Amino acid sequence: MFLKLITLLLLAITSQLAASGPTQQLSKRASLTQVTNFGENASGTLMYIYVPNNLATNPAIVVAIHYCTGTASAYYTNTPYATLAEQYGFIVIYPQSPYSGTCWDVSSAAALTHDGGADSESIANMVTYTISTYGADASRVFVTGSSSGAMMTNVLAATYPEMFAAGVAYSGVPAGCFYTGTVDGWNSTCSQGQVVESQAYWTSVVENMYPGYQGARPRMRIHHGSVDTTLLPQNYNETIKQWTGVFGYSDTPQQTLPNDPASPYTRYIYGENVEGVYGTGIGHTAAIFGDADMEWFGIA
């Protein structure tokens, strides 16, 4: 618990999230609104939503998930997704963790199971509510998050692959790596990069979160920093193994693109459905590249 508290403090110190590109010059015209009646919510997760004034017909949905110590409001304020929503007309869902310290439950068996009744199911129900209420396009639902939110991004991609078309994880760990068997647990072995497994192992972890599922899987882009001391860089390697294994790719990149999307980051292409973005000298708070996210999602 002491280590978890120290880590939370580190996350709080590094929680100023950077956005790149011209989106910073746009403006938010609507407001962040809480929704309390979105459906089954066993974990008590809170739902906030941003519906732009410039709402498209059959809009896309982006689920944007905050870090430990964060809130829906903080992620709304410090990330570019709401201003991008005004530009492109999509809806943003900002879930908020119900736990002290506001990390996400990515450690319990329920959270790591399709329709298991934990945070992951609550967030999926937020998506279902939004599709129904606003006539959103169920084929264009995307998920992204930072730190603990990146962990949940990977978990949602594994537990609800039929729901999400693509995901972008900023400084997280592989789906299932944080398992403790407890709700909102902290797994120091995983955070310190000491869980090193094969592609086949990580692929089986994803498949076991939704047994029998044979459909499409979300395209995944994984961001991490080379000097991350909160969730050590080995977690980048393991997450790449996980998603390349799911898609049957080699975990050796097909292409390496320096200074992409910006220096000191390098983009690695493993196949059509998996990419990595690795920041040399970057710590736990990797910059959020909103415009690049829009391209990855197919919104731009």
- Catalytic site residue from 97, 108, 146, 147: 147
Residue 40, H or E segment = none
Which residues contact residue 100 at a Cβ distance below 8 angstroms, ignoring those fewer than 6 apart?
none
147 is a catalytic site residue? yes
DSSP per position, 202-235: HHHHHHHHSTT--S---EEEEEEETT-SSS-THH
Q: What CA–CA distance (Å, rounded) separates 114 from 47? A: 19
Give the number of other Cβ atoms within 10 Å of residue 195's Cβ.
20
Task: Pull the structure tokens for residue 5.
Answer: 């508290």
Matching residue, tokens 């978890």: 4
User: CA angle, 79 as apex, 272 and 64 as ends, to 5°?
Assistant: 60
Cis amide leading into 95 (omega within 30) = no
200: DSSP letter: H
For residue 152, give the nearest of 201, 215, 213, 108 by alpha carbon: 108
- Give the alpha-carbon dihedral of 264, 176, 148, 290, to 10 degrees: 50
Residues belonging to the active site: 147
